[in-house]
């Protein structure tokens, strides 16, 4: 039973996402490295589209926290093209507006 559980893509993604969340709170550079590692795992494994959508949103949030407003705006715009529920859509639009405002303020 253990090999079946440890090979389940949903459980693997959730454990990696938990580590990514921890890094997001403690070290943004390690968080970006973790995003890159998960991206590589997504290419090599059978992750669901919802996992990629969650990863894209987390990467956009990391870029926003790192004050890389151009990257975060692009990632949020890409996230708008994916199917989202109303709560996620409001989150994306709010953070896109904030990124745009901060980028304009920076200029």
pLDDT in tens, the chain (107 residues): 445 556 777 788 888 899 999 999 999 999 999 999 988 877 777 778 888 888 889 999 999 999 999 999 999 999 888 877 888 889 999 999 999 999 998 87
In a domain, 18, yes or no: no
In a domain, 87, yes or no: yes
What number of H helices and E strands is found in the chain? 6, 0
**pLDDT of the residue at 27:** 93
Q: Which domain holds residue 61?
A: 51-107
In a domain, 68, yes or no: yes
Q: How many domains are there within the chain?
A: 1
Report H helices in 7-48: 9-26, 28-44
In a domain, 32, yes or no: no
**pLDDT of the residue at 3:** 56
In a domain, 3, yes or no: no
* pTM (global) more than 0.75: yes
In a domain, 4, yes or no: no
How far is 90 from 100, CA to CA, in rounded Å? 15
**pLDDT of the residue at 31:** 94
């Amino acid at each position: 039973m253990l090999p079946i559980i440890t090979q389940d893509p949903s459980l693997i993604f959730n454990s990696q996402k938990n580590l990514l969340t921890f890094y997001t709170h403690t070290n943004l550079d390690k968080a970006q490295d973790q995003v890159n590692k998960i991206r590589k795992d997504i290419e090599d494994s059978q992750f669901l589209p919802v996992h990629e959508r969650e990863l894209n949103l987390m990467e956009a949030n990391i870029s926003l926290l790192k004050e890389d407003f151009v990257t975060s705006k692009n990632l949020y715009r890409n996230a708008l093209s994916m199917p989202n529920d109303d709560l996620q859509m409001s989150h994306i639009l709010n953070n896109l507006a904030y990124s745009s405002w901060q980028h304009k303020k920076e200029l």
